[in-house]
Amino acid sequence: MSDPVKIGVLGADGRMGRAVVKAISRNARATLTAALTAPNAATLGKDAGTVAGIEPCGVLMSDDIAAGLADCDVLIDFSRPQAAIDTVLAMHGTKCQTFVTGTTGYSDTEAKALTEAAGGITLLQSGNFSLGVNLLEVLVEHAARALGPDWDIDIAEQHHKHKIDSPSGTALMLGEAAAKGRGKTLSDIRAPIRELSDAPRKDGDIGFSAIRGGDIIGVHDVHFINPLETLMLSHRAGDRSLFAVGAVTAALWAVQQKAGRYTMRDVLGL
């Protein structure tokens, strides 16, 4: 039996970070070797297992990125855009050459900076690590291609009240899939935010709406609407652990790949 893959977690004390720590503890092919957080975090020095609500694991929460990268094969990231970019830049020349990120909320400039910073390493980025959501992405692309531009597309998403970015990374991922199905890029056919515009909707545009409240884990509905009928493709997340398990699965796959950029479609063979 081969040795477990050494995995570090960036943002290990966040909602998703804690779930990833739990998922690693339950996977015989993986072991946690670094739990990274912000320099001012209240969890610094605490056992990552205890922070995650499981048995102590002997790995303490730390803000020492260099030490963490020196002792892991792959880093799973659920932090903030700037933290992710800074960490990727710090990876060059270290033991850790694989970065799996589920961080969302990148501006266009930050997204470009992440891509440039990741040159020469293995980068796997996904707005959602759920098998169901990634299958939904494929279905949305096919539906958009089959139904054509005379069907309006609107993507509605719901998340917990602490989520900052809107629309969610998953909603944008689904929007990109719909735009691809129409042979466009999302930036070309994204409808203006309704609260900021009173202009009528253009034919072929893709709209978004968001709800933030309570502890909603994730709900995504893609509506295809014409004057005579409506088709809705949906996904509901029942437990946050499904994303964590997917992220660990992605990390175990990505660490075996050559340098380059990948998504969950590659992991799942879609």
Q: What is the CATH number of the domain that holds 14?
A: 3.40.50.720
**Which domain, by its residues, includes 244?**
5-129+240-268
Confidence tier at 197 by pLDDT (50, 70, 90): low
- Same domain, yes or no: 124 and 248: yes
What CATH code is carried by the domain that includes residue 179? 3.30.360.10
> Which tokens in the block code for residue 123?
């980068």
CB 167, CB 175: distance < 8 Å: yes
Higher pLDDT among residues 173 and 193, named by residue: 173
Is a pLDDT exceeding 60 seen at residue 199?
yes
HSE-CB for 179 with a 13 A CA cutoff: 19
Is a pLDDT exceeding 70 seen at residue 195?
no
For residue 160, indicate whether it is catalytic. no
Order of strands across the sheet that contains 260-262: 61-62, 30-36, 5-10, 74-77, 98-101, 122-125, 260-262
- Same domain, yes or no: 247 and 223: no
Catalytic residue among 22, 160, 162, 163: 163
Given this model, what pLDDT does residue 152 score?
95
pTM: 0.80
Q: What is the C-alpha end-to-end distance of the chain, expressed in Å? A: 29
215 Cβ contact list (under 8 Å, min separation 6)? 160, 161
- Same domain, yes or no: 122 and 135: no
Give percent of the chain above pLDDT 90. 83
Model confidence over 129-181: pLDDT tens digits?
998 999 999 999 999 999 988 899 999 999 999 998 889 989 999 999 999 99
**How many other C-beta atoms lie within 10 A of the C-beta of residue 40?**
7
For residue 159, indicate whether it is catalytic. yes
Is a pLDDT exceeding 90 seen at residue 234?
yes
- Same domain, yes or no: 22 and 142: no
Number of domains in the chain: 2
104 alpha-carbon distance from chain centroid: 6
Give percent of the chain above pLDDT 70. 98
- Same domain, yes or no: 190 and 261: no
Catalytic residue among 22, 159, 220, 235: 159
- Same domain, yes or no: 30 and 118: yes
- Same domain, yes or no: 77 and 208: no
Is a pLDDT exceeding 90 seen at residue 1?
no
